[in-house]
Structure 1
Amino acid sequence: MKALTIDHSAPGHLALATVADPRPAAHQALIEVRSFSLNAGEVHHVVPEGEDGTVPGWDAAGVVVRPAADGSGPAAGTPVVTLGPDGAWAELRAVDTALLGTVPEGADLGPVSTLPVAAGTALRALRRIGPILGRRVLVTGAGGGVGRFTLQLAARGGAHVTAVTSDPAKADALRALGADEVVTDLADLRHLEPVHGVVELVGGAHMVAAHGALAEHGVLVAAGHIAGDGEHFPFGALFGNDRRHNRQIATFYLLDDAAGLGADLTWLAGLTARGELDPQVALRTDWTQVARAAAELAGRRVPGKAVIDVR
């Protein structure tokens, strides 16, 4: 089969090559990939730091060509959306049936391919906060791929949603996705009404400021770290004597929180197919242009998700 492999001698560290077809385990289905999406973690870390010859990629959508031998998962011909630690950027992919969701017939698989990491993280981070109906939720890094899904799902869940972005030009777009208010200066977070939960996608100073906005018994889910900076809490920030005690910071990694993920991906794919969830696809091209697309995403010049069509 053809696949995009890591090649540090090639432009963008990627080369289109012929590699052996994957050999599915008994609990895996073989998928013919139609589209995959790019994630910031892949273009910033996986590709530049990966081993030559490996096939990267977390998110892909396609069609089952060989069902799992153990009888789990969907039948041949079923359109699916898939998640895995690697192997998505290829014509064929072997996927654990627990990590795939079914897609409504006729749905465009390009936008659906954006769901696993970004929408899956958004959905499960919100669940870690607990019930959000009628409560206040803060989302940092709200203009990124995960942030845009988080805004939509939090609003759908009945939360009052505050979006944090460093780019004031994104404010109207974030409100259109469900934000009730938009904050562009971290100093303004100290003046907010305390929030029940935070989906924190930036790290560093954003995490510190967002933690300070938590109400008593509030939960901050650290689901992203794009700032690349450490967190330095000032003395007293973690005291519990200001009537904001029992606040939690929860770490998060999607593949370690994967029980039931297939059902979640099926639900998210249904929302997307019906137009009730907008993946915000801002760049779509074929896989001969993936190095360019990755560079655009790494340079933060893609105001949404990047989709690559294989066929």
Structure 2
Amino acid sequence: MRRLIPTGDAAHPVAFAEVPQPVPEPGEALIEVEAFAPNRGETFLLEHPRPGLLPGKDIAGLVVRAAADGSGPGTGTRVVGHPAQGGWAEFAAVPAHSLAALPDGVDSIRAAALPLAGITALRLLRTCGSLTGRRVLLTGASGGVGHYVTELAVGAGAELTVVTATPVRGERLAELGASVVHEVTAAQGPFDVALESTGGPDFPVALSKVRPGGMLVWFGQASRAPVTLDFFHLLSGPERVTVQHFHYAGAPYGSDLATLVRLVEQERLHPEVGRIAHWTETAETLVDLRERRIRGKAVLMTGGTEGTTRGTE
């Protein structure tokens, strides 16, 4: 079968290789991959790939062999999955507990855009507790996580302010009910909760916008710049603020995937897919995703013909 593997070349991060089909463990199902969605964090890993890296965590496809231990969806079921790695291939072995069945009304493109970003958004908002009537600040809101957080938080009754790099990136979030600014300094606090994903100089500014006794949840460093905090400067800012580190990971993922699928089916969650392309265009798509030339998610299709519809901001 064909699989995409790292090249170590930033200008062309992946290339095709012919490899044996994966052999699932007893608790894994074999999935014929129809679509997969790379994440921006994966583009960073591909700059200096570790030995043995097999990229690919967000997939949708068909169960061609159910898990031998009897767990998970049966053979012939359309599914969305979140394997630890190896999803950018014709076939992937996925733990049964990290799969969710897809109803007829949810296509593979939208499903593939759900896992990492959607699970992150769900678990991030659970960390915040009830959002009804609370003022929330979200930095780095332009990507897939930001879109899902916006739609879910507004739907839960939050008064949400989001920070996006450009007006174009903020248009869709404004339509979903968020107030949009393009610099953290422009956000009108105080906020009950700040969800901070950019790091660098934005972190201390976001922290300064939190009310006394509020919370900042740090869930990313998209700027790739480390954070510097001045202890004495904080004495003149918000008091008793809790800073909580957050990382989404922790299987099983099946229950959260099922929740996301249900919300999509009910039209309460709308994946934003900024590009759909054939997987022969994965290398170019990864570069554009890394350089922020794609709004929302990019989805690559393994079947059909080459030259699928493309979209770029």
TM-score (norm 2): 0.90
Q: Which residue of 1 aligns with 2:93?
A: 94
For 1:305 and 1:2, locate their aligned partners in 2 and report how far apart those are by CA, in whole Å.
23
Q: Which residue of 2 aligns with 1:58?
A: 57
Question: Post-superposition shift, 1:55?
Answer: 2.6
**Letter of the structure 2 residue corresponding to residue 218 of structure 1:** G
Following superposition, the deviation at residue 25 of structure 1 comes to: 1.4
Q: Per-residue CA shift, 1:247-291, capped at 9, x if unaligned?
A: 2222122223x35x3111111112223432121111101111111
Q: How does 1:176-191 map to 2 (within 5 A)?
A: 176-179=175-178, 181-189=179-187
**Distance in 1 (alpha carbons) for counterparts of 2:9 and 2:225:** 30
Taking only aligned residues, the RMSD between alpha carbons, in angstroms, comes to: 2.0
In the alignment, is the contact (CA less than 8 A) between 1:139 and 1:161 conserved in 2? yes
The amino acid across from 1:226 in the alignment is A
Structure 1 partner of 2:310:
none
Could you give the per-residue CA deviations for residues 156-203 of structure 1, whole angstroms, max 9, x where no partner exists?
Answer: 111111111231333332211230x112222223xx232122221211
Partners of 1:171 and 1:253 in 2: how far apart? 25
Match of 1:39 in 2: 39
The verdict on how the C-alpha distance between 1:134 and 1:11 changes in structure 2, with shifts beyond 3 A counting, is closer
Alignment of 1:218-237 (within 5 A): 218-237=214-233
Q: Is the 8 A contact 1:29 1:64 kept in 2?
A: yes
Q: 1:22 aligns to what SS in structure 2?
A: coil
Counterpart AA for 1:178? G
Partner of 1:308: 300
Query: Is contact 2:9–2:47 with CA below 8 Å preserved after alignment?
Result: no
The alpha-carbon deviation at position 46 of structure 1 amounts to 2.1
Give the counterpart letter for 2:205 in structure 1. A
Q: Matched residues in 2 for 1:103 and 1:236: separation? A: 52
Change (3 A) 1:9 1:282: closer
Question: Which residue number corresponds to residue 212 of structure 1?
Answer: 208
- What are the ranges of 5 or more consecutive residues in structure 1 without an aligned counterpart? none
* Cα distance in 1 between the residues matched to 2:242 and 2:29: 39
| Structure 1 position 53, deviation (Å) | 6.4
8 A contact 1:129–1:198 mirrored in 2? no
Name which of 240, 261, 267 aligns with 2:259: 267
Checking the alignment, whether the CA contact within 8 Å between 2:8 and 2:48 is kept in structure 1 is: no
State the Cα deviation string for residues 211-268 of structure 1 (Å, max 9, x = none).
11122332222112111111112343444x86x4332222122223x35x31111111
Match among 239, 245, 251 for residue 245 of structure 2: 251
Number of aligned residue pairs: give it: 303
Q: TM-score, length-normalised on structure 1?
A: 0.91
Question: Aligned in 2, Cα 1:182/1:33: closer, same or farther, shift over 3 Å?
Answer: same
Secondary structure, aligned partner of 2:255: helix
Q: Decide whether the 8 Å contact of 2:13 with 2:286 is kept in 1.
A: no
Q: Distance in 2 between matches of 1:309 and 1:3?
A: 13
Q: Which whole-Å deviations, capped at 9, do the CAs of 1:132-175 have from their partners, x for residues lacking one?
A: 11111111011122111111111111111111123133333221
Q: Provide the rounded CA distance (Å) in 2 between the counterparts of 1:229 and 1:53.
A: 27
2:83 maps to what in 1? 84
Given that 2:10 and 2:47 are in contact with CA atoms closer than 8 Å, whether structure 1 keeps it comes out as no
1:154 pairs with 2:150:
no
- Mapped to 2, the partners of 1:223 and 1:193 lie a distance apart of 20
Q: Distance in 2 between matches of 1:20 and 1:51?
A: 21
The answer to whether the 8 A contact 1:147-1:201 is kept is no
CA drift at 1:51:
4.3
Most deviating of 55-64 and 210-219: 210-219
1:220 maps to a residue whose letter is L
User: 1:13 deviation in Å?
Assistant: 2.7
Identity of aligned residues (%): 38
5 Å-filtered alignment, 1:99-110, equals 99-110=98-109
- Contiguous gaps of at least 5 residues in structure 2: 304-313
CA displacement at 1:206 relative to structure 2:
1.7
Aligned AA (1:304): G
TM-fit CA distance, 1:20 = 1.3
Deviation larger for 26-35 or 169-178 = 169-178
Q: What is the letter of the counterpart of residue 249 of structure 2?
A: L
Change (3 A) 1:11 1:165: closer
